C-alpha cells in the first residue's frame, strides 16, 4: 500500500475510532499513531510544505512546480550532492560557485516523526550551520527514511556510516516564524521548507 493510501486510511480509521470512542473500555491501551501519519501531522504543524510523489517522474514534475511557484528558474542554488546536479542543470539553475543562492537543494538522513524534524549531517550540510544555508530549502527524501524518534535516526546514521561517523549532525524543525520568540529561539531562523517525499515502500 502506498504512503498516501496508508495516510488516508489512517485518518479514516482515526475518525471511526473517535466515533466509537464511547464504546471502548478505559482500560484498553492507547492507540499509537503510525510513524508516517505522525510525521506528516507534526511536519505540517511546524510550517513545512509536504509534497507527496508516487514516482520519480512525479517528483521531477513537483520540483519544477516549486520552481515555478517561487520564480526560481535561472537563479542560483546551493547543493553539496552530485546527484542533484543534473536536475538543476535541466532547469537552468546555477549551482557551481554560486555567490547568492536563493535556495538549498538537499537530501537528508532521516525524517523524525515525534517532532516533524529533518535530520542532516555533513554529507548534506558540509560544515554549514542551519543559519548559514539559504532560508528557502527543497528536501528530496523517501518514505523509508521516516523514523519515530531522533534516537532512531541517530542509530540509522551509526549503522549507515559505521566505518566513519559523520559530523555536523543537525535537526531542523522550525519552518515558520514564531509568534513568541524568546531566548530559546536565538540563532534559529525559520526556513521556507518544501519536502518532496518519494514513495519507496
pLDDT tens by residue, 114-156? 999 999 999 999 999 999 999 999 999 999 999 999 999 999 9
In angstroms, the CA 75 to CA 101 distance is: 7
Prediction pTM value: 0.83
Among left, alpha and beta (phi > 0; psi -120 to 50; other), residue 175 is: alpha
- For residue 138, how many other CB atoms are within 10 A of its CB? 25
Is the pLDDT reported for residue 184 higher than 60? Answer: no
| Of residues 19 and 155, more confidently modeled | 155
Nine cell digits for residue 146: 521516516
Q: Mind listing the domains of the chain with CATH numbers?
A: 49-176+190-201 (3.40.50.10420)
pLDDT bin (cut points 50, 70, 90) of residue 182 is very low
For the segment 14-29, the average pLDDT, to the nearest whole number, is 56
HSE-CB for 37 with a 13 A CA cutoff = 14
Report the 3 state secondary structure along 3-28.
HHHHHHHHHHHHHHHHHCHHHCCCCC
For the segment 63-92, the average pLDDT, to the nearest whole number, is 97
Is the pLDDT reported for residue 23 higher than 60? Answer: no
| Of residues 64 and 176, more confidently modeled | 64
Q: Residue 125's closest CA among 142, 105, 110?
A: 105
In angstroms, the CA 199 to CA 55 distance is: 7
Task: Answer yes or no: are the C-beta atoms of 194 and 51 closer than 8 Å.
Answer: yes
In angstroms, the CA 96 to CA 187 distance is: 28
Amino acid at each position: 500500500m502506498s504512503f498516501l493510501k496508508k495516510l488516508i486510511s489512517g485518518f479514516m480509521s482515526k475518525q471511526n475510532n473517535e466515533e466509537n470512542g464511547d464504546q471502548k473500555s478505559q482500560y484498553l491501551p492507547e492507540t499509537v499513531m503510525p510513524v508516517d501519519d505522525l510525521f506528516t501531522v507534526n511536519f505540517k504543524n511546524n510550517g513545512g510544505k509536504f509534497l507527496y510523489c508516487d514516482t520519480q517522474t512525479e517528483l521531477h514534475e513537483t520540483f519544477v512546480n516549486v520552481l515555478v511557484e517561487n520564480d526560481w528558474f535561472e537563479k542560483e542554488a546551493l547543493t553539496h550532492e552530485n546527484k542533484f546536479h543534473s536536475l538543476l542543470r535541466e532547469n537552468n539553475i546555477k549551482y557551481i560557485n554560486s555567490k547568492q543562492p536563493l535556495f538549498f537543494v538537499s537530501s537528508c538522513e532521516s525524517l523524525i516523526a515525534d517532532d516533524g524534524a529533518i535530520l542532516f549531517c555533513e554529507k548534506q550540510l558540509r560544515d554549514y550551520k542551519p543559519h548559514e544555508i539559504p532560508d528557502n530549502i527543497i528536501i528530496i527524501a523517501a518514505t523509508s527514511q521516516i523514523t519515530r524518534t531522533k534516537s532512531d535516526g541517530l542509530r540509522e546514521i551509526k549503522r549507515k556510516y559505521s566505518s566513519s561517523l559523520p559530523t555536523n549532525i543537525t535537526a531542523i524543525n522550525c519552518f515558520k516564524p514564531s509568534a513568541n520568540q524568546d531566548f530559546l529561539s536565538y540563532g534559529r531562523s525559520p526556513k521556507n521548507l518544501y519536502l518532496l517525499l518519494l514513495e519507496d515502500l
